[in-house]
Amino acid sequence: MSFQALGLSQQLLNAISDQGYTTPTPVQKQAIPHILAGKDVLAGAQTGTGKTAGFTLPLLHRLMENHDPHQKPRRIRALVLVPTRELAAQVLESIKTYGAHLPLIAEMVVGGASINMQIRQLRHGCDIIVATTGRLCDHMNERNINLSSVEILVLDEADRMLDMGFLPDIRRVIGNLPKQRQNLLFSATYSAPIKALANQILQNPILVEVAKPNVTSDNISELVYGIARENKRALLSYLIGSNNWQQVLVFVRTKHGADRLEKQLVTDGIRSAALHGDKTQGARTKALDLFKNGKVSVLVATDIAARGLDIDDLPHVVNYDLPQVPEDYIHRIGRTGRAGALGAAISLVSPEESSQLAEIEKLLKRKLPRIADTGYEPVSLNVIDAPKKKAPNKETGKKDFRHSKPAEKKGYVARNQAPGAKPKTQGSRSRSR
Ligand code: AMP
């Protein structure tokens, strides 16, 4: 099937062809005709499936059907709610890309950016707003924004918004929208809260399901390194250096852990940046740009900041810490192997994380392949042998589980190195990269 057959306008077809897309992805094929027909849609689609174009293209088409060029100031006719600022920036970019030949104006309303600038933009008027809920609610409180003309509401990555506790804000926003509107809900997973939200806001929705939830892409090769926690950093530096990896997204559990690992990797001579929710928006954007432009090889990120990122041809994802929520494993490794490219997802798993690994494998319904020889003393990842899991350690959590002793004290030595020698890293070699 071609894009022409979907019924999109010529301007949109031109923008699609500017991007070099020839065939709609499955979610686009299934969702676009229903959205064009004005139906509510509940779509189960992960990032990497082309879902953003799946809702953006028909949204732009529908807005153009009754666009009034004389309307001054412009009214907000479409609202896209997303969980993170990074995703907001990405969706806005997509809207601008696909709407390049259209006279529509889109703006972003997110935290961490100048509120006065946003107030000016809102006063000036726009057709589409991409927003995170917190800042949107701030503008609603201050009566800076009028949502009474919204015709289309999109909830993108709705499951993540609920995970992040945004349901009350979502409800408040929806309470300010006209009752008569089109609703599009995109979610990677169908949990009970997502179903409940869908029941509340969608009217006779069309169900679109492209990738079965809890399935990872065949393009991604996955590996588990069983490794003592205290050896993870040396192994990571070694893997990056010895394989000359140029672009690696590394997931850690805590903001503090992200900053610490970034500094350690820099000490090891690896150009790195950190991305997490405590950074200012400017610092987050800069870190992401440095990574996307190849100025740093490693981006150390927490889940909260990394969800929904679309980085072209990202070849390597490393789980430095396993996620607390098994589904996040799928989201994390979905940053690689996108749009048909090949990718590698490597998990450095310490014995304390054995039960998290077991949960992930239960969800995936398969065992992840283990590396037999990590170069370090083998560790057991059997749940029975592993110490009991400690208190939850989410990004916002305080208790960070530590090993009691460093590797040397336990007599662990990297196999290929002399006792007492520094861990193998790319050291000075990579400094010149
Ligand atoms: P998304 O799932 O929306 O994050 O999109 C994943 C990636 O797929 C983005 O980099 C898009 O530019 C790309 N993409 C979207 N639609 C198509 C298509 N029909 N053909 C090729 N690439 C696409």
pLDDT digits (tens, 9 = 90+) for 381-423: 887 654 554 555 444 443 333 333 333 333 333 333 333 333 3
Min mean pLDDT across 175-184, 246-255, 419-428 is at 419-428
Ligand 1 near 29 CB (within 6 A): no
Confidence of residue 181 (pLDDT cuts 50, 70, 90): very high
235 and 203 within one domain: no
pLDDT digits (tens, 9 = 90+) for 220-267: 789 999 999 999 999 999 999 988 999 999 999 999 999 999 999 999
Among 358, 352, 360, 299, which Cα is nearest to 327's?
360
Average pLDDT score over residue span 98-121: 95
22 Cα to the center of ligand 1, angstroms: 11
Is the model's pLDDT at 57 over the cut of 60? yes
pLDDT digits (tens, 9 = 90+) for 267-281: 999 999 999 988 888
If one counts the domains in the chain, the total is 2
Task: Print the domain residue range for 116.
Answer: 3-209
Order of strands across the sheet that contains 206-209:
106-109, 128-131, 78-81, 152-155, 182-187, 41-44, 206-209
Q: Whose CA is nearest to atom 11 of ligand 1?
A: 50
48 Cα to the center of ligand 1, angstroms: 6
Q: What's the pLDDT at 307? A: 67
Domain of 331: which CATH number?
A: 3.40.50.300
36 Cα to the center of ligand 1, angstroms: 19
Q: What is the mean pLDDT of the chain?
A: 85
| Top-confidence residue, 108 or 327 | 108
Please give the model's pTM, rounded to 2 decimal places: 0.66
Q: Whose CA is nearest to atom 16 of ligand 1?
A: 50
- Evaluate whether residue 400 is within a structural domain: no
Task: Judge whether 403 and 229 are in contact, CB under 8 Å.
Answer: yes
375 and 318 within one domain: yes
313 and 375 within one domain: yes
Confidence of residue 136 (pLDDT cuts 50, 70, 90): very high
Q: What's the pLDDT at 392? A: 52
Amino acid identity for residue 343 in this structure:
G
333 and 271 within one domain: yes
- Evaluate whether residue 294 is within a structural domain: yes
The minimum-distance atom of ligand 1 relative to the CA of 24 is 19
199 and 178 within one domain: yes
- Percent of the chain residues topping a pLDDT of 90: 62
Roughly what angle, to the nearest 10 degrees, separates helices 51-65 and 85-98?
A: 50
Ligand 1 near 272 CB (within 6 A): no
151 and 9 within one domain: yes
167 and 78 within one domain: yes
Ligand 1 near 100 CB (within 6 A): no
Long-range pairs for 277-282 at CB < 8 Å and ≥24 separation?
277/302, 277/304, 277/305, 277/395, 279/305, 280/112, 281/85, 281/110, 281/111, 281/112, 281/113, 282/112
Beta carbons within 8 Å of 3's beta carbon, 6+ residues apart: 13, 16, 21, 23, 24
- A 10 A CB-CB count for 81 gives 26
- Evaluate whether residue 398 is within a structural domain: no
